[in-house]
Amino acid sequence: MQKKGNKYGTHRVIEPVGVLPQPANKIDNNMDEIYDNEILIDVQTLNVDSASFTQIKEQAGGDHEKIKEIMLGIVAKQGKHRNPVTGSGGMLLGTVEKIGDALKGKIDLKEGDKIATLVSLSLTPLRIDKIKAIRDSIDQVDIDGKAILFESGIYAKIPTDMPETLALSALDVAGAPAQTAKLCKPGQTVLIIGAGGKSGMLCCYEAKKRVGVTGKVIGMCGSQHSAERLEKLGFCHEVFVGNAKDPVAMMTKIEELTNGQMADLTINNVNVPDTEMTSILCTKNDGMVYFFSMATSFTKAALGAEGVGSDVTMIVGNGYTKDHAEITLELLRESKELRELFTELYA
């Protein structure tokens, strides 16, 4: 008889008692027995959050053995992969190994299904037995290990019409283009910071579709290489190279590109800290900023906006929005250019 579990996984929390698994300092990652409302996953690949992996890579000096050591240390200490510096996790690809008795027949999964979890590794009980390969250019780590998905956890079945790694790379950032679809309105000027990255390119495509012929999409890239790549895709009306940590220079550039009108909506996709003020200053007073980046300090954003007298509406980058997995995978089916580039980069 399996033990009865809590919907949100609080039964796995070791300390501090009374909190949910995400903010917990340590959770139980014993996989020998599962609770009645859990799904046991045989893990194949961890897709580490970009801000988290960038930080780990810098800490390790790019050395793969040190990256392994850091990741194994995080999981050994916490029972999950929550980066202690960024607080973020990522998601995983694996095969359903066992379904708790209370969930059998109530969910559209069966043992043997390939799934990507759409909840953060920062709350997912995880055991890493071996790190087999590190693909640091795309933030993916192949492992032997197990994980638990709670009853409240969301997931996506891996589609059969595209490679697993391609689907995983898109699903990792599924919240960004899906939120872009909700936030963009016809005729708007939309600035996308970090437009040449994975989430940035998906957002550019979706934004152009939503703002229509009277709107404008501006893509800011961190390097000439990513800017040239984005130009070729043709999703932006303007593409430029800039430093997202230099708010005054960025504001001047956006003033120039918008004839002083600034952006109606700014979407921040970068994976480095200290870009909050750039997002705020580039956005008009009654505009909106969507911080998808997990490197965002919401203290800096709130106090910074107050400090410059900006009345922008700021949205926390919730990686989940309704139907986000379906919306994002459909973009790869819609756009031949996106699919080809994502296949080249991530599959």
Q: For the chain, what is the mean pLDDT?
A: 95
Three-class SS of residue 312? coil
Write the pLDDT tens digit of every residue in 186-212.
999 999 999 999 999 999 999 999 999
Rounded mean pLDDT, 231-245: 97
pLDDT of the residue at 217? 98
| Buried residues in 24-54 as b, exposed as e (16+ CB within 10 A) | beebbbebeebbbbbbbbbbbbbbbbbbbbb
Write the pLDDT tens digit of every residue in 69-98.
999 999 999 999 999 999 999 999 999 999
Rounded mean pLDDT, 53-72: 97
pTM for the whole thing? 0.85
pLDDT of the residue at 167? 92
The answer to whether 184 and 210 are in contact (CB under 8 A) is yes
Closest by alpha carbon to 22, among 33, 8, 36? Answer: 8
pLDDT of the residue at 165? 85
Show the tokens assigned to 26. Answer: 């340590």
pLDDT of the residue at 144? 98
Write the pLDDT tens digit of every residue in 152-165.
999 999 999 999 98
pLDDT of the residue at 293? 84
pLDDT of the residue at 281? 98
Name the pLDDT band for 119 (thresholds 50, 70, 90): very high
Lowest-pLDDT range of 163-167, 244-248, 310-314, 328-332: 163-167
Percent of the chain with pLDDT over 70: 100
Rounded mean pLDDT, 235-239: 98
The answer to whether 35 and 5 are in contact (CB under 8 A) is yes
Given the DSSP bridges, would you call strands 263-268 and 283-291 parallel, antiparallel or unpaired? parallel
At which residue do the structure tokens 């050395």 appear? 63
The answer to whether 147 and 89 are in contact (CB under 8 A) is no
Write the pLDDT tens digit of every residue in 324-341.
999 999 999 999 999 999
Determine the Cα–Cα distance for residues 190 and 309; give it in Å rounded to an integer.
21
For the cut 90, the answer to whether the pLDDT of residue 254 exceeds it is yes
pLDDT of the residue at 55? 95
Determine the Cα–Cα distance for residues 240 and 224; give it in Å rounded to an integer.
8
Count of all residues that appear for the chain in the document: 347
Determine the Cα–Cα distance for residues 133 and 142; give it in Å rounded to an integer.
5
| CATH 3.40.50.720 residue window(s) in the chain | 175-346
pLDDT of the residue at 347? 75
CATH code of the domain made up of 175-346? 3.40.50.720
